[in-house]
Amino acid sequence: MDAAALVDEFIAAWGRLDPDELAGYFAEDATYHNIPIMPVTGRQEVRDFIAGFVGPFTGAHFTVHHQAVNGDTVLNERTDTFTFANGNTLDIQVMGVFELRDGKIQNWRDYFDLAAVTEALAKNA
């Protein structure tokens, strides 16, 4: 599977909100870094981070607006939409960088406005 196809598949998998499935896309020693906060390294640690993040949500959908591929690196500009149990949604404007190795995500960095996310989480807690 080429880099773009793997990232597209991974993004679609977020709709199932399954931390185990999502962690399966990562290399054992992968790093996931939401740039406003500290990075998480290791597949199990990535899985645990994702599990904690998706807890308040009942749905997720990522819309890719632009995507560029250079070998095993995929850049995409997205809107990540998460649905709370009360039906409200959280839209996050994201710039993502995926670096792949041997068919797995080795490094994933997302750049976004943490204040907007924190505010929406507080309103829907």
- pLDDT per residue as tens digits for the range 59-82: 999 999 999 999 999 999 999 999
What residue type is 93 in one-letter code?
Q
pTM of this prediction exceeds 0.85: yes
CATH topology of domain 3-123: Nuclear Transport Factor 2; Chain: A, (3.10.450)
Ordered by start, the domain boundaries in the chain are: 3-123
| Digit-coded pLDDT (tens) for 28-41 | 999 999 998 999 99
The residues carrying an active-site annotation are 80, 110
User: How far is Cα 31 from Cα 39, in angstroms, rounded to an integer?
Assistant: 7
User: How far is Cα 65 from Cα 104, in angstroms, rounded to an integer?
Assistant: 23
Arithmetic mean of pLDDT over the chain = 95
